[in-house]
Structure 1
Amino acid sequence: MTTFVDRVELHAAAGNGGHGCASVHREKFKPLGGPDGGNGGRGGDVTLVVDQDVTTLLDYHHSPHRKATNGQPGAGDNRSGKDGQDLILPVPDGTVVLDKDGNVLADLVGQGTTFVAGQGGRGGLGNAALASARRKAPGFALLGEPGESRDIVLELKTVADVALVGYPSAGKSSLISVLSAAKPKIADYPFTTLVPNLGVVTAGGTVYTIADVPGLIPGASQGKGLGLEFLRHVERCSVLVHVLDTATLESDRDPVSDLDIIEEELKQYGGLEDRPRIVVLNKIDIPDGQDLADMIRPELEARGYRVFEVSAVAHIGLKELSFALAGVIAEARAAKPAEEATRIVIRPKAVDDAGFTVTLEEDGIYRVRGEKPERWVRQTDFNNDEAVGYLADRLNRLGVEDELMKAGARAGDGVAIGAEDNAVVFDWEPTMAAGAEMLGRRGEDHRLEAPRPAAQRRRDREAERDEVQREFDEFNPF
């Protein structure tokens, strides 16, 4: 049964925003008291948080689909909907977040570090919030935005000061068990260790962590054995310790060639050239092991390695090794630059950035892309003519219609707003005037105003119609 997982694919879905409410206040002797529709609630976020008590990604291996709650819709009497509850997902220290293409989105190191994996959708505005001097009684409300859905990959890279690397059955598990309080599985057959083990060591005034990385073999960096699965756990370590077996029973192996093979695999994996190395000759309690250690120690020291002869079983040489590691780690910690204060990078928009783009595609469709136009489309109820007109007003004020004309669009051309897989497509009819003005007082309710004489209302309608015709003739000479 799987108990340790260090790589999973997580399907995170944030909550949808609640819809706004279109309502008119009514009470005795005041049947039309004005719009009072409340706003929809915000959808919940999906947030990853580093938790020191979590050591594996096993929970997300069994349940990879996680979704936050939706926001509640607004209601009459100016009652806003309840916000959706954020979904907090605890992850181990050292978790790296990647997208499906392998690009790093976040590197979560340190207790409490957070990353928003899915942003909750905004709640839609109710008609009370949409009311204005020109639009006194909107008969529509905005829809809530859908929450962000994202497929991400979580990879765990163990946060440790020391990494023990070496062939299977070299004695790494035995060594970590006597240096720390860790209790890994120990047996006399290869690949006993199937998951990284982590232990805490105290040497004098220095406390450091030590990781036992599962056995590596030739070709590990290309996916053979268990190496590729666990080489990532070496990346964050400050010191690499080669544990060499001086009493191996395999006739075609010797400690020096084992060291060369593991070093080649580390080189192929990359990014570990600057880490200090220490060599541990293990199992010297066996007579042949001590003789072999005496033979190869001069050669290893000639290569520049610090060499320690130990026996995890007989507890020989452990104290010297522990304090030596503490010294190297103290130097590595002192060499690290001091953490800089958090800086906020402000990237203002360019002065000529309109917030959207208009491009002509091969099929003759003019595609509009931009955060605002696409968000406004998602918030529009296309079953409500007044809401569609309000969208036209917003797009017109943003300058979309002007850009379409500059791009060469003509009446009847197809226009798509949004990405290809989720776009709203319509035949463009240029108005050159805001949609509300073209339709004549859209969003207003004459019952909320003082009555005008019939003759005055007729003259106003004729004047509005003449003005619209004049503007249309001016911009459409053909």
Structure 2
Amino acid sequence: MTTFVDRVELHVAAGNGGHGCASVHREKFKPLGGPDGGNGGRGGDVVLVVDQSVTTLLDYHHTPHRRAGNGRPGEGGNRSGADGKDLVLPVPDGTVVLDKRGNVLADLVGHGTTFVAGRGGRGGLGNAALASPRRKAPGFALLGEPGETRDIVLELKTVADVALVGYPSAGKSSLISVLSAAKPKIADYPFTTLVPNLGVVTAGSVVYTIADVPGLIPGASQGKGLGLEFLRHVERCAVLVHVLDCATLESDRDPLTDLDAIEAELAQYGGLDDRPRIVALNKTDVPDGQDLADIIRPEIEARGHRVFEVSAVSRKGLKELSYALAKIVDEARAAKPKEEATRIVIRPKAVDDSGFTVTKEGEGLFRVRGEKPERWVRQTDFNNDEAVGYLADRLNRLGVEDELMKVGAREGDGVAIGPEDNAVVFDWEPSVSAGAEMLGRRGEDHRLESVRPAAQRRRDREAARDETTREYEDFDPFA
């Protein structure tokens, strides 16, 4: 049964925004008290958060589809809908977020680091928010925007200062078990370790983490064995330790050949040439192992590597190795640039940026792309003529109609707003987008003009009664 997963494909969907409400306030003696439809709630976000207590992506391997809460629709009485609940997904320290094409979206290092993987949709405005002196009683409301959907890939790259590399059964797990408090699985057969093991080592005043990379054999960088799955876990390390088996029972292997083979795999994987190397000749407690170490040590040192003769059984050379690694890690930390305070970068738009583009696509078809036009289309209820008219007015004020005329659009040409796979297409009629006089003032309710204050109605009745009295007094039956 799988207990460790370091790469998953995750399908996230943020919450949809709630629809706005179209409502008119009604009460006794006041049947048309004006619009009072509330706004829809915002959809919930999908947020990735680094959690130190999480060490694997196993949960997302079993349930890769995650969705945040939707916003609630608005209601009458100026009651806005509740916002959707954000979905917080804990991930291990060192998780890299990529898109489907392999582009890095975020590198999550450090407890509490967050990344919004999917943003919730905006809530639609109710007709109370759409009311204006010219549009006193809108008979429509805006729809909520759909939440962002995304397919992302999560890769775990272990955050370790020291990485142990070497052939299976070279003794990497044994070294971690005696250098730290980690208790990895140890046995006398290859590929005992199937997941990276982490341990914390204290050497004087320096505390650092050490990890082993299981399953490195020739061809690992091309997918042979287990190495390709775990080579990514050495990318963040400050120093590489080659653990060479000086007591191997395989006749076709020797420490120098193992060193060359592992170095070749690391070179093919790439990105590790600048890391310092240390060679640990392991199992020197065995007499034949000590003899072999004495023979090959000068040649390894001639290559420029520091060599330590160690034994996980007798604890030989472990203190010297631990302090040497601590010194390299401490120097690497000191050389690392300090993180600067978060800066807010303001990038104003150009003065001639209209916020949309109009391009001609084929004969009689024009496409409008832009954040505002596409958002307005998503928020429009096309079953409501008044809402469609409101959309036409907004597009006209933005300058879409003028731009269509500039690029040669004629009445009856097709106009698509949005991307190819999800666009709204209509036949362009300039009189619709700019002819508000055909519909009167859009959104106005003329019934409101007939509802007069009580004092005004009383004065009108008294004036009518006085007029009737004057006519009666002036009436001459004998005339």
TM range (shorter): over 0.9
Give the match for residue 5 of structure 1.
5
Instruction: Call closer, same or farther: CA 1:33–1:282 in 2, change over 3 Å.
Output: same
Give the match for residue 474 of structure 2.
none
Structure 1 segment 348-359 matched on structure 2, within 5 A: 348-359=348-359
Give the match for residue 284 of structure 1.
284
Distance 2:254 2:370 in 1: 63
Distance 2:131 2:90 in 1: 43
Give the match for residue 447 of structure 2.
447
Which digits, 9 at most, give the CA deviation of each residue in 1:181-232, with x for residues without a partner? 1111111111111100000000111100000111201111111111111000
Alignment of 1:411 with 2:411, yes or no, is yes
Distance 1:390 1:434 in 2: 11
Contact 2:389 2:433 in 1 (8 A): no
Instruction: Call closer, same or farther: CA 1:267–1:124 in 2, change over 3 Å.
Output: same
The 3-state SS of whatever aligns with 2:37 is coil
- Structure showing greater Rg: 2
Distance 1:432 1:86 in 2: 41
Give the match for residue 104 of structure 1.
104
Shift of 1:450: 5.4
Distance 2:363 2:5 in 1: 48
Give the match for residue 77 of structure 2.
77
Give the match for residue 241 of structure 1.
241
Give the match for residue 472 of structure 2.
none
Distance 2:305 2:349 in 1: 54
Distance 1:374 1:170 in 2: 60
Contact 1:436 1:443 in 2 (8 A): no
Structure 1 segment 389-468 matched on structure 2, within 5 A: 389-431=389-431, 434-449=434-449
Shift of 1:364: 3.4
Give the match for residue 330 of structure 2.
330
Distance 1:329 1:3 in 2: 30
- Runs of 4+ in structure 1 displaced over 6 angstroms? none
Distance 2:323 2:451 in 1: 93
The 3-state SS of whatever aligns with 2:163 is strand
Give the match for residue 299 of structure 1.
299
Alignment of 1:384 with 2:384, yes or no, is yes
Alignment of 1:204 with 2:212, yes or no, is no
Give the match for residue 150 of structure 1.
150
Distance 2:450 2:45 in 1: 47
Shift of 1:433: 6.4
Shift of 1:436: 3.4
Distance 2:131 2:301 in 1: 82
The one-letter code of the counterpart of 1:339 is E
The 3-state SS of whatever aligns with 1:367 is strand
- Where in structure 2 are there 5+ consecutive unaligned residues? 453-479
Which digits, 9 at most, give the CA deviation of each residue in 1:71-93, with x for residues without a partner? 00000000000000000000000
Structure 1 segment 141-220 matched on structure 2, within 5 A: 141-220=141-220
Shift of 1:273: 0.8
The one-letter code of the counterpart of 2:127 is N
Shift of 1:435: 4.7
The 3-state SS of whatever aligns with 1:421 is coil
Contact 1:165 1:215 in 2 (8 A): no
Contact 1:390 1:436 in 2 (8 A): no
Which digits, 9 at most, give the CA deviation of each residue in 1:127-179, with x for residues without a partner? 00000000000000000000000000000000000000001110000110110
Single out whichever of 110-119 and 308-317 deviates more from structure 2: 308-317
TM-score (norm 1): 0.93
Distance 2:261 2:254 in 1: 11
TM-score (norm 2): 0.93
Contact 1:17 1:144 in 2 (8 A): yes
The one-letter code of the counterpart of 1:227 is G
Please tell me the root mean square deviation across aligned C-alpha atoms, in Å.
1.2
Distance 2:281 2:438 in 1: 87
Single out whichever of 440-449 and 267-276 deviates more from structure 2: 440-449
Give the match for residue 58 of structure 1.
58
Give the match for residue 474 of structure 1.
none
Distance 1:179 1:421 in 2: 57
The 3-state SS of whatever aligns with 2:430 is coil
The one-letter code of the counterpart of 2:216 is L
Shift of 1:393: 0.4
Contact 2:8 2:154 in 1 (8 A): yes
Alignment of 1:344 with 2:373, yes or no, is no
Instruction: Call closer, same or farther: CA 1:433–1:371 in 2, change over 3 Å.
Output: closer
Distance 1:436 1:222 in 2: 66
Distance 1:319 1:359 in 2: 70
Instruction: Call closer, same or farther: CA 1:441–1:272 in 2, change over 3 Å.
Output: same
The one-letter code of the counterpart of 1:256 is L
The one-letter code of the counterpart of 2:198 is L
